[in-house]
């Protein structure tokens, strides 16, 4: 975060979340730092690599470190920064997800909003997205997933309804390599406050995966809409956590 800048996740009611420099949501960060639509990124690839956007680039491990390797047709990498940070949450609909790495996306920030200003009936508040913001960063988790879960992941993100758009992001690692991952960005985002339940899931996921302490504190400081009613997906997550605790005892 920039010194004196906007904290990750800080929003104001009714503020429209624009991508920096007037670029619309649903763009992909190229290796050079420029932004291109995910479909355009796929179109620029050499023949024979057209499917990379859908399955992303599966990075093999070399010498115990992370490295960019051969893209496998049966799996892809997914960068999660919202509720899917939490293992029990992503496994509800995507059973193949396995932890791959903790990573951060540079020059973006985390915000909360609603597609076209319509609150999520699923979470009873706004939900997370990312927007370009030079000097900021978004921490998250890279999950390795089977392509058999790609449709369910897109459905969870509301791709068919135009709520989120798949994007391709390049994430540098401490080893100096780059992970090419699938992620999502909200379309027509109008900023608002998330529900306490949604915020809690994100904070739990950040703690579970050991995101930097300073970043966790920023997440914990996010203001909510104080919704106190039932949230079915939150109850499902709590049940999954309790079941896991029971089976490990």
How far apart are alpha carbons 195 and 136 in whole angstroms?
A: 24
* Dist CA 244 CA 129 (whole Å): 29
Distances (CA, A) of 53 to 78, 229, 231: 11, 39, 33
Q: Which of 52, 157, 160, 243 is catalytic?
A: 157
Written as six digits, the tokens of 175 are 């080893």
245 noted as active-site residue: no
Residue where the block lists tokens 């089977």? 146
**Enclosing H/E stretch for 222:** none
Nearest by Cα to 207 from 248, 241, 246, 239: 241
Tokens matching residue 125:
């508040």
Residues with active-site annotation: 157
């Amino acid at each position: 975060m920039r010194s004196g800048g906007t904290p990750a996740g800080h929003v104001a009611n009714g503020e429209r979340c624009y991508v920096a420099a007037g670029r619309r949501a649903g763009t992909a960060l190229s290796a050079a730092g420029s932004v291109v639509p995910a479909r355009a990124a796929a179109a620029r690839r050499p023949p024979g690599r057209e499917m990379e956007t859908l399955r992303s680039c599966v990075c093999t491990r070399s010498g115990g470190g992370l490295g960019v390797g051969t893209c496998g047709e049966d799996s892809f990498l997914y960068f999660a920064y919202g509720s899917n940070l939490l293992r029990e949450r992503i496994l509800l609909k995507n059973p193949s997800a396995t932890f791959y790495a903790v990573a951060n996306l540079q020059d973006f920030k985390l915000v909360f909003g609603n597609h076209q200003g319509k609150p999520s009936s699923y979470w009873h508040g706004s939900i997370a997205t990312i927007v370009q913001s030079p000097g900021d960063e978004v921490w998250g988790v890279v999950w390795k997933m089977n392509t058999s879960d790609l449709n369910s992941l897109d459905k969870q993100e509301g791709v068919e309804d135009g709520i989120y758009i798949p994007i391709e992001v390049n994430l540098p690692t401490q080893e100096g390599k780059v992970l090419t991952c699938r992620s999502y960005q909200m379309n027509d985002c109008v900023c608002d406050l998330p529900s306490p339940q949604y915020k809690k899931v994100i904070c739990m996921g950040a703690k579970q995966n050991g995101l930097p302490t300073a970043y966790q504190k920023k997440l914990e400081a996010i203001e909510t809409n104080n919704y106190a009613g039932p949230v079915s997906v939150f109850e499902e997550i709590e049940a999954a956590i309790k079941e896991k605790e029971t089976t490990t005892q």
